[in-house]
Every structure is written in C-alpha cells, then in structure tokens.
C-alpha cells in the first residue's frame, strides 16, 4: 500500500508514503482535485527531525480508521516545511491569527480555494478523529459560515507585514544612545545562572550573541563580553551539545541546557560554529576551540556527501525512542570504563538510577575540567588526555548503535550558513581543511543548485528541485562574500553580486522597500510573505540588508547601500521596541553607525597580511587582498604596493582611505570604536 508521496525526494514525505492516508504532495493536481470534488483541504506540515510529527504519524496517520475519515472527507496534502518554508509561513501565520499556538506538526484545514478556516498542531488520536468528524459535518451543513471565516483569515494573510507593523522604508538618523539602549534591553533578559535568555525552553539564538559580542567589542564593554562567553561555556558544557561527537541539538526543554530535543539541524550548527570560532578568536579560550574542531569533525563524519554538500538534519529518535542513541545507563559505563567512572561520572553528573527519564544519563557538565582535575589529583593536561581517551572509547561503542534517522536532502540556504561557519572556523584555527570544505561546498552549490541563474532550494539523488527562497539566496550570498575575503578569488564576489541582482529583480518589492520571502513570479500562492523578524535563523530580509551593505563596500556601487539603509530605517523603531527578535537588524545598525572599515591589501605578501586580520577577529570590517595589482574588485582598484612591490594595507571608510601602512598593528590602530 502506498500513496502519491512515493515519488517525493523528501525523507519526511517518504516517511508517510506508506500511510493508509491518501496523501498528495502540494501542487496543481491536489489543488485541482479539491476544487473539482468540492472538498476541504487538510494540509499537514512537518519535517523529518520533528519528534511530535513522528508521534502523530504513529497514532493517527498509520491508523486505518483515522485514515478512512481523512480520505472520505478531505483532500490530504503533506508538506515538508524545509522544502516549502513559503507555504509553512503562510499557514503558520494563519493558525496564529486564529489565536492558536503555532508549532509542528502543523495541521490546517482550508477551503477548496486554499483559504484556511481552522488549524492546530499535534492532536492525540481520539481528539483528532473527533475534529475530523466535526469539520466534515460543518463543511457539509454550514459551508457558507466556513467560507466567511476563511475569507476573513485570507484577508488578514494578505495584509502586508510592513502595514501590520507600521514600517516605512526610508533613511533615519542613527544614534549611539539608541544602540546602547538596544544592547541593555537584550542583556536585561540574561539568565545569570545558566547563560542565554531567561526563558524555557532554551534556544541558543546565535543572532543575539553575535550582536552582543560585536557591540561589546566595539564599546569595550567587558561585562557584556563575559556574558557572551558565559553563555557559550554553559551551552558547550550542556546536554544540548554532543559531548562525544560534537554538534549541537536545536534546544533544551529546560532552562539549564540539560535535556535537548536531540535533533541536530545544519542551520544551528553552521551559526554556532561561526559564533564559537569568534569567541575563540577573541578570548583564546581552548574550550571554544575544542567545540569548533569537534563540531567540524561531526560534520565531516556524519553530514558531508561525496559531492561536497551537507545533509539537512539528524533526527531526535532512533529505534522509535527519543535520544536513545546519545544516552547511557550507569551499568553500561561501569562495564566499559570501570577505572575512570568515578571522575567521569562526577564530570558529567551521572547517577546510578539515571539523571534523566527511564533510568538513563545525559552527559551534562557543570564543573570546569580544572576543578575536577584538582579534586582527583591530576594535572589539567593529564585529566584532559584521559578524557579524550575515554570519549574516543565511548564514541566507538556508540557508533555500533542504530543511528538516528537522517534527513539527507541538501538545502542551499542551510549549506550557505554552514559554509560561513566553516570559513570563520578556518580563521580561528588556521586549519586550511575547514576553508577547503567551505569552498568545495560553494562549488557544489554553484555547480548543482544554480540552474540558468536560478538558485534552487533543495537537492537529492543527483537533481536540484524547487526554486530557492530569499533565505537561500541571502545565506549563499553571505557565504560567497566571505569566500572572496578568505581566498581572494573574485569568482565568489561575482557570484554574490549576480545572485544579489537576481534578488533585486525577482524578490524586491519597490512599494515598501523590502524583499518577499518567495519569488512572487515563480508560483501563485494565496499570499506573498515578507520575513522581518530574526529567529533561530535570522530573517532573510535582515541577512539581505547586511549583504547589500557589505556588497556596496566591495563593489563601490551605492545602489546596494541605499537599499540597505532604507530597510534599516524602516525597521529602526521596531528594533528599539523588540530587540530580542531583531538582533541581526541591530547588527546592521552597528555596522552603519560605526563606519565599517574597508581593508584592502595589495602587493607581495598580501595573503600573509590578510591572514593576520582573519585570525584576530574584528567586527565591522571587510577585507580584500591581492598579491599583484588587480581589477578584480573595486575595493582593490587604485591601490598599489610599496616601491619594492611589497604589500601595503589600506584602511578606508566610505571609500576614502587613510595613509597606507605596512603592518597589522598600525592598520588595526586606525579602526574606530563606539565612543
């Protein structure tokens, strides 16, 4: 028994291909069927690493009686939100407009014309069957009332985000006091005991800490800097971090970073890799470097494809049990590491009866290595060597277990986020293999996912599908500009520029100065949305605005900068009011307020001089270098080496350069700070 999902590429859709439900993929065939048969549409949206999606499938979608109800009264459409974030955005908005809690699985009931009238997230089986019967009955007997309700929600979906929040793009004065207010507001929600924001469940939220890190460095605020390091320390010691293999889970269900939902997403790991790399560059704390190298090792071992792309995600569940792959019973450990168990169990808070559910232990560190080493009469080096040895031994045993499910499609935007993280990791560690991974990944995206100038969202089994969304373009443009800075190869700047110009022609809405999430010319949906708020992934509009700002500095094309300034101007009041969910916009505020330094290095030895800048992190800076005179980027034109042909460093602001200098220290002393 199978349904039409059998022909999908998505692992999530394929998981439902043998349900007794007559699932159809989103597309003209399903939408036409709803109209011709005059049936309501049930859209069910999830993703392969989603725990409650699996639960609802087992309880309801695999149940014959439930499937019978669904097939008789509805056209049932299954959507992978990672393939179609545009549709997910629309119907998530609709459910929230209904005053209901959003989340996944997302189940939404639509009229045959795609307008929603009711929805929700996970429903236990009995409740779900009751709901299906009630809605089928209402459609049969009160279709006009449902029509009216759907019309109302349809109208609210079509209201522009810029109208909803009173946003008008345009230039605005930027004031350092306002920036200080933004940073203070964010830090007022800091959890001084466990780091991160004072809320449960706890998400790492990299965009927040990127902004606070840069703000603290530019304002020389050591207290704020410490809060960033404290947060990253706690996350890196927590159960949210895979202590044996590296890599981060999405979030912890508690306020202590202890018990995660165990799924690992590429987008989180790319952003956290970048953040930990910067933290190491600034602090030189080996703890941060360890998280970087371990996470890259996980990426290479478990997420990298032969072609150079990275898979999307690993599930939370293995053998149908959440976290089973990652946890340990005390008895197991006693057998494997009897001699090391006393200090190992103290290090990771292990209990004989388990420190988590079902008598199992999550590795969860609360004390620094140094304290434990002293307590057990070892030097720090001796302790850390023993720990490495034990971790390797346990990893070997763990690798024999049945692995969690893998979402093996490749998403261009998430790969872009990971490439950026890898380039920053190369800057921090000096390991060229990390830069090679990033460059190879971008070559793969350029080769396989850009077809006739159009970037595609997804790739699997040798083919790209679904034209990309703004999120994809924005992340790949950013990674391409970083690849240009890291390698000096102008092809990456050219790629960033051509993708940006495509976005301006296809996604940009002149009427309000922001970009649509979906390309309105590619497919007609019931609403075209704009993504403005930064969340676990920063808003595609905020990434795009920062890209435009930086691209104008590389290319000397003012049109890019003007659009970025107007976008920031439109968002400014909102950033002041709600900075916690607009931190990437706050980072643009910082880049615009403190002039972004344009560093150009030309001449023999330029590469080595560039490496000095790269290994020492400075916010608010772009960099271009060339060993010989070149016209490959406007930022490098008219720059010359010294009379002997040796490299000179030009520090410029708004395309006006200071007197060139020959060493890093002199150049860095010309960089501005927040007064």
User: Are 81 and 46 in contact, with CB atoms under 8 Å apart?
Assistant: yes
> What contacts 184, CB < 8 A, 6 or more positions away?
none
Alpha-carbon distance of 96 to 92, in angstroms, equals 6
- Residue 660 is classified by DSSP as P
463: pLDDT strictly greater than 80: yes
- Residue 659 is classified by DSSP as P
Q: Residues 162-191: what's their mean pLDDT?
A: 94
Alpha-carbon distance of 459 to 440, in angstroms, equals 16
Kindly compute the dihedral angle of the four CA atoms of residues 269, 275, 277, 283, in this order, to the nearest 10 degrees.
-150
User: Are 261 and 51 in contact, with CB atoms under 8 Å apart?
Assistant: yes
Alpha-carbon distance of 559 to 552, in angstroms, equals 7
State the Rg of the chain over Cα.
26
Kindly compute the dihedral angle of the four CA atoms of residues 472, 476, 477, 481, in this order, to the nearest 10 degrees.
160
Give the start-to-end residue ranges of the domains of the chain: 4-159, 326-400, 597-668
Q: Residues 438-442: what's their mean pLDDT?
A: 98
675: pLDDT strictly greater than 80: no
Determine the pLDDT at residue 155: 87
Helix (H, G, I), strand (E, B) or coil at 246: coil
pLDDT above 70 covers a percentage of the chain that reads 100
Q: Residues 602-630: what's their mean pLDDT?
A: 96
Alpha-carbon distance of 141 to 450, in angstroms, equals 49
- Among 155-159, 242-246, 495-499, 502-506, whose mean pLDDT is lowest? 155-159
Q: Residues 608-612: what's their mean pLDDT?
A: 98
Alpha-carbon distance of 555 to 546, in angstroms, equals 14
- Residue 239 is classified by DSSP as T
Sort strands 116-120 and 106-110 into parallel, antiparallel or unpaired.
antiparallel
C-alpha angle 633-470-295 in degrees, rounded to nearest 5: 80
> What contacts 328, CB < 8 A, 6 or more positions away?
350, 360, 361, 363, 394
264-273 confidence digits (pLDDT tens): 999 999 999 9
Alpha-carbon distance of 496 to 442, in angstroms, equals 11
Alpha-carbon distance of 310 to 409, in angstroms, equals 8
User: Are 419 and 373 in contact, with CB atoms under 8 Å apart?
Assistant: no
Determine the pLDDT at residue 632: 84
Determine the pLDDT at residue 1: 78
Alpha-carbon distance of 623 to 649, in angstroms, equals 10
DSSP symbols for 499-559: HHHHHHHHTEETTTTEE-SS-TTT---S------S--SS--HHHHHHHHHHHHHHHH--HH
Tell how far CA 281 is from the center of its chain.
Answer: 21
Alpha-carbon distance of 631 to 144, in angstroms, equals 66
Closest CA relative to residue 363, chosen from 212, 262, 514, 271: 262
Averaged confidence pLDDT in the chain: 96
User: Are 404 and 325 in contact, with CB atoms under 8 Å apart?
Assistant: yes
Alpha-carbon distance of 68 to 410, in angstroms, equals 34
Q: How far is CA 649 from CA 171, 286, 605, 606, in A?
A: 32, 30, 11, 8
Alpha-carbon distance of 334 to 337, in angstroms, equals 6
Alpha-carbon distance of 269 to 249, in angstroms, equals 8
What pLDDT band is residue 440 in, cutting at 50, 70 and 90?
Answer: very high
What pLDDT band is residue 629 in, cutting at 50, 70 and 90?
Answer: confident
Q: How far is CA 495 from CA 417, 487, 502, 546, in A?
A: 16, 14, 11, 16
User: Are 219 and 169 in contact, with CB atoms under 8 Å apart?
Assistant: no
Alpha-carbon distance of 554 to 199, in angstroms, equals 40
- Residue 404 is classified by DSSP as P
Place of tokens 């420190």: 355
Closest CA relative to residue 602, chosen from 630, 635, 626, 623: 626
Determine the pLDDT at residue 503: 98
Determine the pLDDT at residue 222: 97
User: Are 273 and 289 in contact, with CB atoms under 8 Å apart?
Assistant: no
Residue 138: other Cβ atoms inside 10 A: 17
Tell how far CA 180 is from the center of its chain.
Answer: 26
524-554 confidence digits (pLDDT tens): 899 999 999 999 999 999 999 999 999 999 9
Residues in the chain: 675
Burial status of residue 243 (CB atoms within 10 A of its CB: 0-12, 13-18, 19 or more): buried
Closest CA relative to residue 50, chosen from 247, 249, 337: 249
Determine the pLDDT at residue 602: 97
CATH number of this structure's domain 4-159 = 3.40.30.10
303-352 confidence digits (pLDDT tens): 999 999 999 999 988 998 999 999 999 999 999 999 999 999 999 999 99
Burial status of residue 422 (CB atoms within 10 A of its CB: 0-12, 13-18, 19 or more): buried
49: pLDDT strictly greater than 90: no
Q: Residues 504-511: what's their mean pLDDT?
A: 97
User: Are 560 and 548 in contact, with CB atoms under 8 Å apart?
Assistant: yes
User: Are 603 and 647 in contact, with CB atoms under 8 Å apart?
Assistant: yes
Phi, psi for 608 (deg, rounded to 5):
-65, -40
Closest CA relative to residue 73, chosen from 137, 149, 145: 137
290: pLDDT strictly greater than 90: yes
Structure tokens at 533: 């708020």
C-alpha angle 200-590-600 in degrees, rounded to nearest 5: 125
């Amino acid at each position: 028994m199978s349904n039409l999902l059998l022909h999908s590429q998505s692992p999530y859709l394929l998981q439902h291909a043998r349900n007794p439900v007559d699932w159809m993929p989103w597309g003209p065939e399903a939408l036409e069927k709803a109209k011709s048969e005059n049936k309501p549409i049930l859209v069910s949206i999830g993703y392969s690493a989603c725990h409650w999606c699996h639960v609802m499938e087992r309880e309801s979608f695999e149940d014959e009686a439930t499937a019978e109800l669904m097939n008789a009264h509805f056209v049932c459409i299954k959507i992978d939100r990672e393939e179609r974030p545009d549709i997910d955005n629309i119907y998530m908005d609709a459910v929230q407009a209904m005053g209901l809690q959003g989340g996944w699985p997302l189940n939404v009931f639509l009229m045959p014309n795609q307008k929603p009238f009711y929805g929700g997230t996970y429903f236990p089986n009995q409740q779900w069957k009751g709901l299906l019967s009630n809605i089928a009955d209402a459609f049969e007997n009160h279709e006009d009332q449902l029509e009216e309700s759907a019309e109302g929600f349809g109208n609210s979906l079509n209201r522009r985000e810029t109208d909803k929040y009173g946003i008008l793009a345009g230039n605005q004065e930027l004031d350092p006091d306002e920036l200080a207010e933004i940073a203070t507001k964010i830090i007022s929600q800091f959890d001084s005991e466990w780091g991160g924001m004072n809320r449960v469940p706890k998400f790492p939220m990299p965009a927040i800490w990127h902004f606070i890190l840069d703000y603290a460095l530019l304002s020389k605020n050591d207290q704020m800097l410490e809060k960033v390091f404290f947060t990253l320390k706690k996350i890196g010691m927590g159960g949210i971090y895979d202590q044996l293999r590296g890599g981060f889970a999405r979030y912890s269900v508690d306020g202590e970073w202890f018990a995660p939902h165990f799924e690992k997403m590429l987008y989180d790991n790319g952003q956290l890799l970048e953040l930990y790399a910067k933290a190491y560059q600034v602090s030189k704390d080996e703890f941060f470097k360890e998280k970087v190298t371990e996470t890259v090792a996980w990426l290479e071992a478990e997420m990298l494809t032969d072609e150079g792309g990275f898979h999307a995600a690993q599930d939370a569940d293995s053998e149908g049990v959440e976290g089973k792959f990652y946890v340990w019973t005390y008895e197991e450990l006693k057998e494997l590491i009897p001699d090391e168990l006393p200090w190992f169990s103290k290090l990771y808070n292990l209990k004989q009866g388990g420190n988590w559910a079902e008598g199992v232990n999550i590795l969860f560190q609360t004390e620094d290595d140094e304290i434990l080493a002293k307590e057990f009469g070892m030097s720090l080096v001796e302790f850390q060597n023993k720990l490495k040895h034990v971790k390797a031994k346990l990893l070997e045993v763990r690798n024999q277990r049945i692995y969690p499910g893998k979402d093996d499609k490749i998403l261009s935007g998430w790969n872009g986020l990971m490439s950026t993280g890898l380039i920053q990791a190369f800057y921090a560690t000096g390991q060229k293999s990390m830069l090679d991974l990033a460059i190879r990944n971008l070559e793969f995206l350029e080769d396989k996912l850009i077809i006739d100038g159009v970037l595609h969202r997804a790739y699997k089994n040798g083919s790209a599908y679904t034209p990309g969304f703004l999120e994809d373009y924005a992340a790949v443009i950013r990674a391409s500009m970083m690849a240009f800075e890291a390698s000096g190869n102008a092809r990456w700047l050219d790629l960033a520029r051509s993708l940006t110009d495509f976005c301006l022609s296809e996604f940009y809405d002149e009427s309000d100065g922001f970009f649509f999430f979906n390309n309105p010319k590619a497919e007609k949906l019931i609403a075209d949305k704009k993504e403005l708020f930064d969340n676990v992934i920063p808003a595609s509009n905020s990434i795009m605005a920062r890209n435009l700002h930086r691209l104008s500095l590389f290319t000397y094309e003012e049109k890019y900068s003007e659009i970025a300034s107007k976008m920031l101007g439109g968002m400014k009041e909102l950033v002041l009011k709600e900075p916690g969910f607009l931190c990437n916009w706050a980072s643009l505020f910082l880049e615009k307020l403190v002039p972004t330094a344009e560093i150009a290095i030309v001449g023999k030895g330029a590469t080595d001089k560039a490496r000095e800048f790269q290994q020492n992190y400075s916010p608010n800076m772009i960099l271009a270098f060339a060993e010989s005179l070149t016209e490959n980027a406007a930022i490098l034109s008219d720059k010359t080496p010294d009379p002997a042909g040796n490299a000179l460093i030009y520090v410029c602001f708004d395309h006006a350069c200071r007197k060139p200098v020959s060493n890093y220290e002199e150049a860095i002393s010309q960089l501005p700070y927040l007064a």
